[in-house]
């Protein structure tokens, strides 16, 4: 089993490698250390969000509201600091609690109403968007405490960005939850076969709720790091992050159909998306063409994901027919 998983991630790693080689050839700036740290800074937020997103996808769900969760989180934290003079540390904690609550509301509606997660979180996305614009009136909030901004902009020893440390810590925590805890195992069980999981005594509702809650938690941390990096809060900031996270996860082998995927895969997916974005920007490719490329990448990844699932199922069906007869 580990061999197969490794092989799958190995394939994705090859794609990443090919992209790096390609951009290095077409653009000499690409392969500089400075640009590498630039990429990690850029993908820190999407990477952290993708950890939570991976949990939700593995349970067989999806959370399209993560983009505007980011917007609302940063706007609320910004207002707390600038308008109400709340110390940045406390403001961040409130921001994180807000993220968890939004995730739990998503989860609650999904497990209690059985409405498709896609619809629930799409509605939530629009609600959060509206709330965020209501707070800012469309204006930017900026100039924050220096020690807060340092989280997103400073480096340790002039080399390693602080945000990279956060990113790595979150990856480790995410991997730990998924691989070492009871709940990680339950995520896979529910995503693979919710009936069998229920009949094995798994409290499906509680576990799904947890996945959405964790997604909100990680998203809010990503949001705070982004606010610190940009030193400016705008309601439009989070737009498209749901798309980037979904693309990163699926490209990295986290199945949009549930039950499969790893944190490592999702992070490699993030790197691919990050390298692609960075490389295209360095090459001065038209912004709209970049959008088209991003869309095509997600489409290819999702189609590949579903086709390989169907292929397996077909093989399985043939096998069971033979076994039954």
Helix (H, G, I), strand (E, B), or coil: what is residue 15?
helix
Q: How far is the CB of 181 from other proteins (least distance, A)?
A: 5
Query: From the CB of residue 174, how many other CB atoms can be counted at a distance below 10 Å?
Result: 25
Give the integer Cα–Cα distance in Å for 62 and 119: 10
CB 80 within 8 A of CB 275: no
Is 119 among the residues that bind other proteins (CB under 8 A)?
Answer: no
Which residues 6+ apart lie within 8 Å of 294 measured at CB?
A: 243, 244, 247, 273, 276, 277
Which residues 6+ apart lie within 8 Å of 304 measured at CB?
A: none
Of 78 and 177, which CB lies nearer to other proteins in the complex structure?
177
Is 193 among the residues that bind other proteins (CB under 8 A)?
Answer: yes
Residues 202-261 that bind other proteins (CB under 8 A): 202-203, 259-260
Is 41 among the residues that bind other proteins (CB under 8 A)?
Answer: no
Is 183 among the residues that bind other proteins (CB under 8 A)?
Answer: yes
For the chain, the maximum distance between any two Cα atoms, rounded to a whole number of angstroms, is: 73
Q: How far is the CB of 114 from other proteins (least distance, A)?
A: 16
Of 285, 295, 316, 318, the one binding other proteins (CB under 8 A) is 316
Of 82 and 185, which CB lies nearer to other proteins in the complex structure?
185
Residues 258-277 that bind other proteins (CB under 8 A): 259-260
Which stretch in 50-58, 87-95, 116-124, 188-196 sits in contact with other proteins by CB under 8 A? Answer: 188-196
Query: From the CB of residue 172, how many other CB atoms can be counted at a distance below 10 Å?
Result: 12
Q: In Å, how far are 36, 96, 177, 273 from 214, measured between CA atoms?
A: 29, 11, 10, 23
Is 284 among the residues that bind other proteins (CB under 8 A)?
Answer: no
Of 72, 189, 221, 256, the one binding other proteins (CB under 8 A) is 189
Residues 114-120: contacts with CB within 8 Å, 24+ apart?
A: 117/56, 117/61, 117/62, 117/63, 118/62, 118/64
Of 1 and 33, which CB lies nearer to other proteins in the complex structure?
1
Give the integer Cα–Cα distance in Å for 137 and 131: 10
Q: Name residue, tokens 């397996």.
A: 312
Which stretch in 22-30, 150-158, 212-220, 316-324 sits in contact with other proteins by CB under 8 A? Answer: 316-324
Of 185, 232, 236, 302, the one binding other proteins (CB under 8 A) is 185
Q: How far is the CB of 53 from other proteins (least distance, A)?
A: 21
Is 7 among the residues that bind other proteins (CB under 8 A)?
Answer: no
Q: How far is the CB of 167 from other proteins (least distance, A)?
A: 23
Which residues contact other proteins by CB under 8 A? 1-2, 180-183, 185-186, 188-189, 192-193, 195-203, 259-260, 316, 320, 322-325
């Amino acid at each position: 089993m580990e061999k197969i998983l490794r092989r799958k991630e190995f394939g994705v790693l090859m794609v990443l490698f090919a992209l790096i080689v390609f951009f290095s050839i077409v653009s000499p700036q690409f392969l500089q250390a400075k640009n590498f740290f630039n990429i990690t800074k850029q993908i820190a937020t999407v990477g952290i969000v993708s950890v939570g997103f991976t949990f939700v996808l593995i349970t067989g769900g999806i959370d399209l509201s993560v983009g505007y969760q980011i917007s609302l989180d940063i706007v609320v934290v910004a207002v707390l600091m600038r308008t109400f003079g709340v110390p940045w540390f406390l403001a961040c904690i409130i921001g994180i609690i807000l993220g968890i609550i939004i995730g739990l509301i998503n989860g609650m509606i999904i497990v209690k109403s059985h409405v498709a997660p896609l619809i629930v979180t799409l509605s939530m996305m629009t609600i959060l968007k509206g709330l965020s614009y209501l707070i800012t009136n469309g204006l930017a909030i900026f100039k924050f405490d220096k020690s807060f901004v340092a989280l997103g902009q400073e480096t340790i020893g002039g080399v390693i960005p602080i945000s990279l440390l956060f990113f790595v810590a979150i990856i480790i925590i995410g991997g730990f939850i998924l691989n070492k805890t009871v709940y990680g195992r339950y995520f896979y069980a529910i995503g693979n076969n919710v009936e069998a999981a229920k009949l094995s005594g798994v409290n499906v509702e509680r576990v799904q709720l947890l996945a959405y809650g964790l997604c909100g938690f990680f998203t809010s941390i990503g949001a705070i790091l982004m606010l610190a990096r940009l030193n400016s809060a705008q309601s439009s900031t989070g737009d498209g992050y749901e798309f980037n996270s979904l693309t990163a996860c699926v490209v990295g082998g986290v199945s949009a159909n549930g039950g499969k995927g790893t944190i490592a895969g999702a992070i490699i997916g993030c790197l691919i998306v990050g390298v692609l974005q960075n490389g295209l920007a360095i090459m001065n490719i038209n912004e709209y063409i970049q959008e088209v490329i991003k869309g095509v990448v997600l489409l290819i990844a999702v189609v590949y994901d579903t086709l390989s699932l169907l292929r397996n199922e077909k093989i399985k069906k043939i096998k069971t027919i033979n076994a039954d007869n």
